[in-house]
């Protein structure tokens, strides 16, 4: 019976492989079991963020020395640029180990890769459907039959660049490269929502993508990268087909300050948090994965925010920094996987948060 293991490793740079190398060398991580590697890298998280591709290249180079090329490429790599505020660059290495015994249900992980998405399909139903099918495939791989058991779906999506737009010949959904990231993230999130039965097929039209903020998944986290043309999908949930000490739960923040549902999820995971987690509790939180975004109304609890009007710093960077502060105030440190661009991921201005913890 498989067991999921999660390793959180600090990163001194987008290509800092010292931690991963040491853990593999010391036998703590078995590279053949690695299912996915997530990285919070220190770029701008927007179009011209090359730290994500740099990180993927560095990880692949290291894994290439201990794994065959086919195995290296089957791993899902999700690099999320942007460590605004005090967010700490780090890696999350997700491993499928094969211990036989342990408590059940436990954290389960599955992955899938879609085929390449044509530039003209980006931000449209074609992308939604491609992701929906991919999520179902990853759920099957993880032994997650019931959508209710799924707590987190990470999808890495492509984006448009000036070059790709020119090559596509004008039939693209948008010619604004930064906007293409949002449309791609949004379409993928709606694909997750369909796979998890959070929405019905007829609700998700071409027109709704990027426009109807009432449609969202409470468990999708999507991020865009210039380095890929297809989708890389990872699903996490609680499965009786997996065992071990790790558990996962999730919450949906209704706005950037809605920290109570996150606190409740932490309590459900067995940690009696009141204000801020104390060090002994904090140690049992292995990973916090959250989406942050600036609410489109331009207001947060009645007060104006300026994130959407700032032409010097993109709203996604503001949102990561701020929500990073909100969540770090709860958890007690800032080595958190907060990513931006939460289109159709949680309600407008809010977002999903998943927490992986160790049982007592």
Site for a second copy in 325-344 (CB under 8 A): 325-330, 332-335
The rounded distance, in Å, linking the Cα atoms of 13 and 30 is: 23
Q: Has 239 been annotated as catalytic?
A: no
The rounded distance, in Å, linking the Cα atoms of 215 and 64 is: 41
The rounded distance, in Å, linking the Cα atoms of 29 and 31 is: 6
Q: Among residues 85 and 147, whose Cβ is nearest to a second copy?
A: 85
Place of tokens 């293409």: 180
State which of positions 3-42 bind a second copy (CB under 8 A): 10-15, 42
Q: Has 156 been annotated as catalytic?
A: yes
Q: Which of 68, 162, 197, 201: binder of a second copy (CB under 8 A)? A: 162
Compute CA 102 distance to the chain's CA centroid, rounded to the nearest angstrom.
27
Contact (CB, 8 A) for 219 and 148 = no
323 binds a second copy (CB under 8 A): yes
State which of positions 196-235 bind a second copy (CB under 8 A): 226
Q: Which of 17, 29, 35, 53: binder of a second copy (CB under 8 A)? A: 53
The rounded distance, in Å, linking the Cα atoms of 96 and 32 is: 9
Stretch that binds a second copy, among 43-51, 91-99, 130-138, 148-156 (CB under 8 A): 43-51
259 binds a second copy (CB under 8 A): yes
Stretch that binds a second copy, among 71-79, 103-111, 283-291, 308-316 (CB under 8 A): 308-316
Q: Among residues 111 and 256, whose Cβ is nearest to a second copy?
A: 256
Which helix H or strand E contains 151, and what residues bound it? strand 150-157
138 binds a second copy (CB under 8 A): no
Residue 333: how many other CB atoms lie within 10 Å = 15
Q: Which of 217, 256, 339, 345: binder of a second copy (CB under 8 A)? A: 256
The rounded distance, in Å, linking the Cα atoms of 325 and 22 is: 31
Catalytic residues: 156, 223
């Amino acid at each position: 019976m498989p067991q999921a293991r999660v390793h959180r490793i600090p990163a001194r740079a987008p290509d800092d492989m010292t931690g991963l190398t040491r853990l593999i060398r010391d036998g703590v991580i078995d590279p053949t079991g690695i299912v996915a590697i997530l990285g919070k890298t220190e770029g701008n998280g927007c179009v011209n963020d090359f730290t994500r591709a740099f990180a993927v290249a560095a990880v692949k180079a290291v894994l290439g020395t201990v794994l065959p090329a086919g195995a290296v490429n089957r791993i899902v790599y999700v690099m999320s640029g942007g460590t605004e505020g005090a967010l700490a660059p780090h890696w999350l290495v997700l491993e499928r180990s094969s211990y036989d015994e342990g408590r059940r249900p436990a954290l389960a992980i599955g992955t899938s890769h879609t085929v390449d998405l044509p530039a003209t399909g980006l931000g449209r139903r074609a992308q939604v459907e491609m992701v929906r099918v991919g999520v179902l495939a990853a759920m099957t791989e993880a032994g997650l039959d019931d959508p209710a058991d799924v707590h987190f779906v990470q999808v890495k999506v492509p984006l448009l660049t000036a070059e790709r737009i020119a090559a596509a010949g004008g039939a693209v959904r948008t010619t604004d490269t930064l906007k293409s990231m949002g449309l791609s993230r949004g379409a993928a999130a709606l694909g997750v929502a369909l796979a998890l039965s959070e929405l019905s097929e007829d609700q998700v039209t071409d027109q709704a993508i990027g426009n109807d903020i009432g449609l969202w998944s409470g468990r999708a986290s999507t991020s865009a990268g210039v380095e890929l043309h297809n989708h890389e999908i990872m699903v996490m949930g609680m499965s009786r087909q997996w065992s071990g000490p790790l558990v996962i739960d999730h919450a949906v923040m209704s706005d950037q300050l809605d920290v109570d549902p996150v606190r409740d999820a932490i309590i459900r995971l067995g940690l009696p948090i009141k204000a801020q987690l104390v060090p002994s509790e904090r140690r049992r939180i292995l990973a916090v994965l959250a989406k942050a975004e600036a609410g489109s109304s331009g207001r947060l609890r009645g007060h104006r925010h300026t994130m959407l009007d700032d032409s010097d710093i993109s709203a996604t960077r503001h949102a990561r920094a701020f929500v990073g502060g909100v969540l770090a105030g709860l958890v007690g440190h800032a080595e958190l996987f907060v990513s931006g661009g939460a289109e159709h991921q949680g309600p407008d201005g809010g977002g999903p948060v998943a927490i992986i913890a160790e049982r007592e």
